[in-house]
Amino acid sequence: MSLSPAGRATVKLALALLAIAAIGVVVHTLAAQGPSSPWWLGILPGPVAQLRDTSALLGALLLAAAPYISARSGEREPWSLVVALYVGVVIVLVTLAIGATSGMYGVQIEDPRVANRWLFRARSLGELILFGGLLAFARRAWRAR
């Protein structure tokens, strides 16, 4: 089965996410070292693991779903769907990366640290955009069968 340009763009996004997950494995291993170790990065391993796991899950999901995004005969390419996926992924990954480097999970609705509230809001926005894109993806796959 050959992929359309939108399907290939989705595969590229999936492969980039899997590469970020692979880097996350190494960074998490170093972050999990004890403070007395010369390999210790000095950051919390939890937010790094969250970034790694999210990247791996989204990468695998998009890789498996890429054939369904291809345009069917007589339809336009679903570029708005691809753009929504890219925007959602970028927002989520940037907020997770900020959280990983600053030690914030970005899940607190109310937090005394102002930066954590903005991190939560931005992350929630990215997840909503991504959810909408994935829901449109699922609808498209359901109609294709």
Q: Decide if 89 contacts 63 (C-beta within 8 A).
A: no
pLDDT in tens, 107-134: 777 877 777 889 999 999 999 999 999 8
Other residues' Cβ atoms within 10 Å of the Cβ of residue 34: 7
Residues 15-59 pLDDT 10s: 999 999 999 999 999 999 999 999 999 899 999 999 999 999 999
| Range name among 66-75, 85-94, 126-135 with the lowest pLDDT average | 66-75
Helices within the chain (DSSP H only): 5-31, 45-69, 79-102, 114-144
